[in-house]
Amino acid sequence: MSTTNTTAYDLLAGDLEGSTDVQLAPVKGQDLRRNLPREYFVKRPALFTAKILFAFALIALGWYGVWYALTTPVTTVSILAAVGGFFLNGLIYAHLIELQHECLHCHAFKSVKLNRLFGALAGVFMFSSHSHYRYDHLRHHAYLGTERNLEHFDYRFNDLNSLTGFAIAFFDLNRYKRVFNILAAALTGKPIAGVAKEEAQRHIKQEYLIYALAFVASVIASLHFHTWLFALAWWLPTLIIAEGAHFMIEMPEHYGLNTQTAPDVLENTRTIRTNPIIAWYVNGNHTHTAHHFHQGVPMCNVKKLNALIKPQLQVVETSYFAFYCDVIRGRISHRYDATCMAR
């Protein structure tokens, strides 16, 4: 297998919008990415279908728990059903965004339309547009390690070196300001800031409007049927649990690492050792360095890629829990000039 040194990597090489010959962010030293065996790029639509059906089955269970509590006398069982359904839904709504991430890379299906359909469906509970996430995220992959790098989910990543600061970031809902601004742009015909492609503008607006209509329909249904079901099974779990859970999934990827001027994905991206349950929940995101090493490799094969580049990994944490503890204690922090996540 031939190798090249990509210290001065050509960022314009590859297809920015594609899923095979993709643009790759810089990596120093041995570079075998363009010579990976074809087997690394095989997609498994049946596996993804099983994953998303399982996720929606868990959500259905959560909705049932809340519905059961609302339609039966207050007992220990009904309270546990409500609380369990509330937390289960919040956690799985965040998990769906990781499945949406798989779709935006076109890893789930060979069809772009199917990836968009399932990606948009996965984002409905958290108002996460598939097309918007896709537009920003593919550029994040191409430009990671350069000044052009940007993140889609601009969570609060500052002042995390205390339980209070971490909690404030966990419950931060500033992301919805951007959602409301885009909805306003969609309704008034104004362009979306930061999106240069006309087709992407159209798709993004369509998806946010669909999400808004779904929310309005749920409000009307709540008022008409005099029910708290939508509030307790969707709205509140999203705001109180899902946003924070997704923040905790996203934050370890690059936190404390130089994503703006360190042109090496092996240096500016983190890998975390974890157990199979957490690996399922984050949908392979714990092997984030491997994912950035070659984003054209479907998520179902990233574990194999991670094993291949294991000797080259530079930033590896023993567990998510250990990482969060190090952040709260101030052992891991970031410089504001080294990351775009400085809000």
Query: What integer pLDDT is reported at residue 8 of this predicted model?
Result: 41
User: What is the amino acid identity at position 105?
Assistant: H
Q: What φ, ψ does residue 40 adopt, rounded to 5°?
A: -70, -20
β-bridge mates for residue 316, sequence order: 271
**Whole-number Å distance between alpha carbons of 107 and 300:** 8
Of the chain, the percentage scoring pLDDT greater than 90 comes to 83
Radius of gyration of the chain (CA): 20
Annotate the chain with three-state secondary structure: CCCEECCCCCCCCCECCCCCCECCCCCCCEECHHHCCHHHHCCCHHHHHHHHHHHHHHHHHHHHHHHHHHHCCCCHHHHHHHHHHHHHHHHHHHHHHHHHHHHHCCCCCCCHHHHHHHHHHHCCCCCCCHHHHHHHHHHHHHHCCCCCCCCCCCCCCCCCCCHHHHHHHHCCCCHHHHHHHHHHHHHHCCCCCCCCCHHHHHHHHHHHHHHHHHHHHHHHHHHHHCCCHHHHHHHHHHHHHHHHHHHHHHHHHCCCCCCCCCCCHHHHCCEECCCHHHHHHCCCHHHHHHHHHCCCCCHHHHHHHHHHHHHHCCCEECCHHHHHHHHHCCCCCCCHHHCCCCC
Map tokens 């537009």 to a residue: 135
CB 30, CB 312: distance < 8 Å: yes
Tokens found for residue 327:
């952040």
Among 266, 264, 302, 265, which residue's Cα sits nearest to residue 282?
302
Query: What integer pLDDT is reported at residue 186 of this predicted model?
Result: 92
Query: What integer pLDDT is reported at residue 13 of this predicted model?
Result: 62
**Whole-number Å distance between alpha carbons of 83 and 240:** 13
Query: What integer pLDDT is reported at residue 32 of this predicted model?
Result: 77
**Whole-number Å distance between alpha carbons of 35 and 29:** 15
**pTM attached to this predicted model:** 0.93
**Whole-number Å distance between alpha carbons of 143 and 101:** 18
Question: Which residue ranges of the chain lie beneath pLDDT 50?
Answer: 1-12
**Whole-number Å distance between alpha carbons of 291 and 22:** 12
List of long-range contacts for 63-72, beta carbons under 8 Å, 24+ apart = 63/89, 63/229, 63/233, 66/229, 66/232, 66/233, 67/229, 67/233, 70/227, 70/228, 70/229, 70/232
Query: Within 10 Å of residue 250's Cβ, how many Cβ atoms?
Result: 23
User: What is the amino acid identity at position 45?
Assistant: P
**Whole-number Å distance between alpha carbons of 130 and 133:** 5
What is the overall mean pLDDT for the chain? 92
User: What is the amino acid identity at position 85?
Assistant: G
